[in-house]
Amino acid sequence: MRPVQLSYLGLLAAGLLWPGALGAQNGPPGTAPPPPAAPTAPAAVAAKPQRIVVPVGTHLPLVLHNGVSTRSAHPGDPIYLETLFPILVDGRIVIPAGSYVSGEITEAKRPGRVKGRGEIMLRLTNLILPNGYQVSLLATPNDASTGGADSVDKEGKIKGDTDKTRDVKTVGETTAGGATIGAITGGAKGAGIGAGIGAAVGMAAVLFTRGPEVVLPRGSTLDVVLDRPVYLDSARVQFTDPGHASTLAGPPNREPVRNTSPE
């Protein structure tokens, strides 16, 4: 007996096969291939986080946590501060009070014996918000309240007092003292000689001692200005409270004093 060979159409008629069951490669001649599978859609690109920009020129009022003096300061020494007032961008608190700011001393120059004022240069480089979020910044002092007569120039350099008033007073006191002693011992002529000697002593005291050191006691306040924008991730800046700065006693007012130490 010859084997029965069923055709593709016969199988269809017998209900033993359905269209497309054999695929495009096994189908009968003339059968159209199945449509290609739709390409997989590309993965959605992750949305970039929204940024908040604290612009150049923004002022940050700060309070100093560690005292600094030209007597002992060196370039590279760290400096630690804290914000005193919240900073807002478009009505939103982005830097609460009590945020930490750190940096370093880039220049420390002691006052000279004959001339030259003490100088300190600071560079602030890091900001830590109360929630631990940390960003980089670049800021320099614009003003300083140290309890003394220190000043800040346009480059952000803090300069000590020249102490000219006290220098004049010192020379005047030694001159008068010498004149008094000379008058007692030698009359009018002795007064003149004594005045000259007293003036020389006073000038020596001024010329051969260092001028007042630049001193920033703990609790000194600094107003610093951003030299470049600060970029904050909007999702990590979610503050409704203005924050709370540490309570630090401000430095008392002090008169500039020359350093008589040989160092």
CA–CA separation, 227 vs 139, rounded Å?
5
Cα end-to-end distance, the chain, whole Å: 125
Tokens of 238: 């979610």
Tokens of 52: 């908040």
**24 band by pLDDT with thresholds 50, 70 and 90:** very low
Q: What percent of the chain has pLDDT over 90?
A: 47
pLDDT (tens digit per residue) in 37-85: 655 555 545 566 699 999 999 999 999 999 999 999 999 999 999 999 9
How much is the pLDDT for 111? 87
Residue 171 scores a pLDDT above 50: no
| Torsion of Cα atoms, 243 then 248 then 253 then 256, to 10° | -100
Chain segment 193-236, per-residue pLDDT in tens: 555 554 454 445 545 567 788 999 999 999 999 999 999 999 99
User: Considering only CA atoms, which of 5, 4, 56, 110 is closest in space to residue 226?
Assistant: 56
pLDDT at 140 exceeding the cut of 70: yes
Query: Would the pLDDT of 182 be above 60?
Result: no
Contact 178, 198 (CB under 8 A): yes
Superfamily the domain 51-160+213-236 falls into = Type IV secretion system, VirB10/TraB/TrbI (2.40.128.260)
Parse the chain into domains and list their residue ranges: 51-160+213-236, 164-210
Which residue has 């269209």 as its token pair? 19
Taking a C-beta distance cutoff of 8 angstroms, is the pair 230, 53 a contact? yes
Rounded to 5°, angle at Cα 222 from 221 and 226: 150
CA–CA distances in Å: residue 72 to residues 69, 91, 110, 138:
6, 43, 9, 25
Mean pLDDT of 163-184: 51
**pLDDT (tens digit, 9 = 90+) per residue, 158-170?**
998 865 555 444 4
